[in-house]
Amino acid sequence: MKSSGIIAAAAILMLPSLGVAADQSAAPQAAPAVVSPVAQGKAVATDRNKGNCLACHMMGDGEFPGNFGPPLSQMKERYPDRAVLRKQIWDATVKNPTSIMPPFGKHGIINL
């Protein structure tokens, strides 16, 4: 019964063109939540499709951390100058030509 599934999907896609839409005036739209820069950074670091820092590093409450790179702890003490940390993430091979860390910024993996 594949055709019935296709027909149902087509009907759902056609609803707006038939003038059938969800009532959006019923509830006021909530303001978007403000996310701190720390929370944004953690989201990128733990997202397996973005920074994926957990593939190589242990950090805080990250699940299934790697052990290739140093633990990502006490970063403020280790990198008091944020520009130095940014350069390390941008392209770690500048400081260490044998680094296995991907050049996240240089290769456009993440936008720094």
pLDDT band at 87 (very low <50, low <70, confident <90, very high): very high
pTM over 0.75: no
What the block records as the tokens of 57 is: 């590093």
Per mean pLDDT, which range of 2-6, 40-44, 84-88 is the poorest?
2-6
pLDDT band at 112 (very low <50, low <70, confident <90, very high): low
What is d(CA 72, CA 112) in angstroms, rounded to the nearest whole number?
18
Residues 49 and 80 in one domain: no
pLDDT of 90 reads 93
3-state secondary structure of 32: coil
Residue 31 lies in a domain: no
Residue 64 lies in a domain: yes
3-state secondary structure of 4: helix
Residue 3 lies in a domain: no
What is d(CA 14, CA 11) in angstroms, rounded to the nearest whole number?
5
pLDDT of 68 reads 86
Residue 19 lies in a domain: no
Residue 23 lies in a domain: no
Residues 91 and 61 in one domain: no
Residue 8 lies in a domain: no
Residue 87 lies in a domain: yes
Mean pLDDT within 33-52: 82
- Picking from 43, 45, 74, the residue whose alpha carbon sits closest to that of residue 57 is 45
Residue 94 structural domain: 74-112
